[in-house]
């Protein structure tokens, strides 16, 4: 029975030893995995967080160019970043890139046509959130993890539209190195699963495939748009048996023998004695093993004689040879001078209070190595003997160093967090301010406009908005360069700041446009005075590199009356007033009125109807006969454009021509009238109605059309049957070489050129000889 019990106990102990060993190994692997997981998450999220600031800037500047984009993106490539490049893809086509060197091949890439990247790009657009893909093979070479951030911007009418995608490429190798995956001393094999952040269901993209099949320790790496599964096993696989298995089995076998053999040989009494002895030996051995495994040494101090007794492990800790007698001076002499006073104080305190004793100090070994030691003891007394102190001492150097490393890691993390907060603040400032003038930008204006209007009402007044546009700015920019234009913008911002009191708000919303927000009370005339001061100051010449630059401003003014107009509509109303000021000669200001709004609505309605009328072929020719003055015979007809409006009937050009010119569709109307006139001419000929020729009007834009001659050739116009009428005041003194070439080609096609309304312009004899018109129509 004793044999069976010992055998069962040995099997159970061996099994428990293996379970404990396996748990310890897996716990060690899990600790390393968690460290790598934290680094991966920190590096990925840190890189993408930097790019979010750039996205905020793109929202406010959707039409930024490469230079502006590169200037902003370069600030994100600093120490600790694994970013390889950042690309901007308006309408899903890459046109912005930083850095450009080495990435030229990516310019022009259309995500919709790239099989490898289309799914992730469209997913980012459709889900309106960041999508992390990869690793992917990059067109410009190498591999990277690509974070694609969809960008939506505000368009007219306060609606959102999809601008495109900002793609940040994180270098694969640099990310792996920074996260510790390539550390030779890692001690574990790692696999990463979940390509394109698809989690455990995705493909494995790092490490050996055997890792995932070997019962690995796993953890999830949380990403902005999904996760990866990290799996790990020890370098040489999981140990089949614990390191101390055979040693433990040998001990159990010896113990069993000590119990069983005496029991069989000497009988019950001797066996009982042997069992007691074996138990004592086992307990002693366990204590010895426990002390050895924990590297704890035991010492005894005779307080009467000051004699110390150290076991082998204490001697090993202090670097002393074994078998020698020790005294108090041996202990005190080994303590670091800076810690000696504290160790003495702890000892004296224990003696005064009768124990217990607890102290931690540094010792200097004979070889010069410094170790951190912790000691704990109690005082006991034996009858007729001096009091003694017995205690344990162990080396805590590794724990102290680990604690210092943790403190340094915490300080480093706090430092990085402070840097991130500082970078975030800088990015927010950049996103809300114009880099050239330092004024708030359109995004900042949108944020403060509603609150500004509400605060103005609470103060007993109204919010007023002045929309200011620089006149002749483009001329200065084109003739003296962008640097001169920038100087004019800075001057304009300085003038506006000086003319607006401390309670006003000045912003640059793009190009040469500025906004001034201020509070007015009952006297609206103060706005007119302010506009006059701004216009007057802006007229003053500005000197730039020896050039005397002059420009003016047009001002549109809108006031929030607190009843009918929402604050967000102030910009729209001021823009309408600005348009009116420009149309009335510039260098002036206009207040927004309801009449302006009605005019804009009517113009918009007519413009929509014109575009619809072109689609439905509502613009038709009306013919005016031309007679020979002597014979009174019909020598031709003039095609006059009319609009066959579905509701208002036939409309003359004075109703639609001005708006059609603004829409840039006059050329389309001219072309439609010409084509219909040719069809009618053929129809009259088939009906035996002889009309020799037809005259049609041609606009200035039509003469500047590069496709004009090609389209005329397709019509197969018979020579002498068509004439183009040109208005003298527009074309006769035109010095455009391309227009002149078009007119020559028109004559070569057999199309006559006539001058309409002759006498209203200032045509010279030279220009008439150069044009050589077929006919002149004298103005009444």
| DSSP E strand boundaries for 292-387 | 296-302, 307-310, 326-327, 357-364, 370-380
Q: Taking Cα atoms as reference points, which of 729, 726, 723, 749 lies closest to residue 638?
A: 723
SS3 for 310?
strand
CA-based max dimension of the chain: 162
Rounded-to-integer distance, Cα 415 and Cα 497, Å: 38
Residues 10 and 20: their CA atoms lie apart, in Å, by 15
**What DSSP designation does 91 have?**
T
Q: List, by residue number, the catalytic residues.
A: 512
The Cα–Cα gap between 118 and 124 comes to 10
484 preceded by a cis bond (ω within 30 of 0) = no
| Helix, strand, or coil (residue 178) | helix
516 within 8 A of 466, measured Cβ to Cβ? yes
3-state secondary structure 527-595: HHHHHHHHHHHHHCCEEECCEEECCEEEEEEEECCCCCCCHHHHHHHHHHHHHHHHHCCCCCEEECCHH
Q: Are 464 and 558 in contact (CB under 8 A)?
A: yes
- CB neighbours (10 Å) of residue 332? 12
222: exposed, middle or buried (C-beta count within 10 Å: 0-12, 13-18, 19+)? middle
Note whether 233 and 217 are within 8 A (CB).
yes
183 — phi, psi (to 5°)? -70, 120
Distances 556 to 204, 574, 588 between C-alpha atoms, Å:
62, 5, 9
107 and 138 in contact (C-beta within 8 Å)?
no
Vertex 613: Cα angle to 612 and 614 (nearest 5): 90
Neighbours of 329 (CB within 10 A): 10
State how far the Cα of 46 lies from the Cα of 41, in Å rounded to an integer: 8
Q: In whole angstroms, what is the distance from residue 209 CA to residue 479 CA?
A: 66
Q: Which residues pair with 779 in a beta bridge?
A: none
Task: Give the CA angle between residues 250, 252, 255 to the nearest 5°.
Answer: 110
Span between the terminal Cα atoms of the chain, in Å = 138
- Measure the CA–CA gap between 589 and 531, rounded to whole angstroms: 7
CA R_g for the chain: 46
> What percent of the chain is helix, strand and coil (3-state, nearest 5)?
50, 25, 25
Cα–Cα dist 72/427, whole Å: 9
**Cβ partners under 8 Å of residue 360, min gap 6:** 372, 373, 374, 375, 396
Q: Is residue 195 within 8 Å of 205, Cβ to Cβ? A: yes
């Amino acid at each position: 029975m004793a044999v069976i019990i010992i055998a069962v106990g040995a099997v159970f102990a061996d099994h428990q030893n293996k379970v404990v060993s396996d748990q310890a190994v897996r716990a060690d692997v899990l600790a390393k995995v968690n460290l790598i997981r934290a680094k991966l998450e920190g590096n990925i999220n840190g890189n993408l967080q930097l790019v979010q600031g750039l996205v905020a800037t793109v929202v406010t500047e959707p039409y930024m160019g490469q230079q502006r984009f590169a200037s902003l993106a370069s600030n994100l490539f600093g120490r600790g970043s694994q970013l390889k490049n950042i690309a901007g893809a308006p309408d899903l086509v890459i046109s912005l890139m930083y850095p450009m060197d080495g990435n030229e091949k990516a310019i022009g890439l259309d995500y919709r046509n790239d099989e490898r990247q289309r799914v992730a790009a469209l997913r980012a657009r459709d889900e309106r959130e960041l999508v992390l893909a990869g690793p992917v093979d990059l067109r410009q070479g190498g591999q990277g993890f690509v974070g694609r951030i969809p960008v939506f911007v505000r368009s007219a009418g306060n609606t959102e539209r999809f601008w495109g995608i900002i793609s940040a490429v994180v270098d694969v190798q640099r990310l792996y190195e920074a996260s510790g995956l390539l550390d030779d001393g890692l001690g574990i094999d790692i696999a990463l699963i979940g390509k394109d952040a698809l989690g455990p269901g995705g493909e494995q993209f790092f490490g050996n495939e055997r890792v995932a099949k070997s019962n690995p320790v796993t953890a999830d790496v949380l990403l902005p748009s999904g996760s990866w599964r990290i799996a790990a096993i020890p370098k040489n696989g999981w140990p089949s048996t614990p390191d101390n298995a055979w040693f433990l089995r040998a001990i159990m076998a010896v113990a069993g023998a000590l119990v069983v053999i005496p029991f069989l040989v000497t009988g019950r009494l001797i066996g009982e004695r042997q069992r007691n002895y074996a138990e004592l030996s086992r307990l002693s051995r366990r204590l010895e093993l426990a002390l050895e495994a924990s590297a704890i040494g035991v010492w005894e101090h005779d307080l009467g004689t000051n004699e110390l007794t150290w076991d082998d492990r204490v001697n090993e800790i202090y670097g002393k040879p074994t078998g020698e007698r020790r005294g108090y001076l041996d202990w005190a002499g080994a303590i670091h001078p800076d810690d000696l006073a504290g160790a003495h104080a702890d000892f004296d305190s224990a003696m005064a209070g009768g124990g217990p004793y607890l102290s931690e100090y540094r010792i200097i070994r004979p070889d010069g190595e410094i170790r951190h030691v912790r000691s704990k003891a109690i005082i006991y007394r034996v009858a007729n003997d001096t009091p003694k102190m017995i205690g344990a001492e162990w080396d805590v150097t590794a724990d102290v160093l680990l604690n210092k490393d943790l403190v340094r890691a915490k300080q480093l993390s706090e430092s990085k967090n402070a840097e991130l907060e500082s970078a975030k603040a800088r990015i927010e400032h950049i996103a809300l301010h114009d880099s050239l003038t330092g004024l708030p930008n359109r995004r900042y204006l949108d944020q403060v406009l509603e609150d500004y209007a509400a605060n103005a009402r609470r103060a007993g007044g109204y919010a007023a908005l002045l929309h200011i546009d620089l006149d002749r700015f483009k001329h200065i920019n084109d003739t003296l360069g962008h640097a001169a234009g920038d100087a004019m913008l800075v001057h304009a911002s300085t003038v506006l700041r000086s003319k607006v009191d401390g309670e006003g708000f000045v912003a640059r919303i793009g190009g040469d446009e500025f906004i001034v927000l201020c509070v007015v009370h009952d006297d609206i005339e103060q706005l007119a005075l302010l506009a006059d001061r701004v216009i007057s100051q802006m007229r003053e010449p500005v000197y730039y590199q020896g050039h005397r630059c002059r420009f003016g401003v047009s001002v549109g003014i809108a006031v929030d009356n607190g009843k009918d107009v929402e604050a967000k509509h102030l910009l729209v109303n001021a823009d309408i007033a600005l348009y009116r000021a420009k149309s009335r000669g510039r260098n002036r200001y206009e207040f927004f009125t309801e009449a302006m709004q009605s005019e804009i609505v009517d113009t918009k309605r007519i413009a929509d109807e014109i575009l619809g009328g072109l689609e439905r072929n509502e613009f038709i020719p009306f013919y005016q006969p031309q007679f020979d003055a002597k014979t009174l015979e019909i020598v031709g007809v003039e095609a006059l454009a009319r609009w066959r409006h579905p509701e208002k009937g036939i409309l003359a050009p004075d109703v639609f021509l001005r708006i059609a010119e603004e829409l840039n569709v006059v050329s389309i109307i001219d072309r439609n009238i010409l084509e219909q006139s040719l069809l009618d001419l053929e129809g009259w000929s088939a009906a035996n109605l002889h009309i020799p020729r037809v005259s049609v009007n041609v606009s200035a834009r039509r003469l500047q059309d590069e496709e004009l001659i090609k389209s005329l050739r397709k019509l197969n116009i018979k020579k002498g049957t068509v004439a183009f009428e040109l208005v003298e005041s527009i074309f006769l003194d035109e010095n455009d070489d391309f227009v002149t070439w078009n007119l020559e080609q028109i004559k070569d096609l057999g199309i006559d050129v006539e001058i309409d309304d002759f006498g209203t312009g200032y045509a010279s004899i030279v220009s008439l000889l150069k044009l050589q018109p077929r006919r002149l129509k004298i103005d009444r």
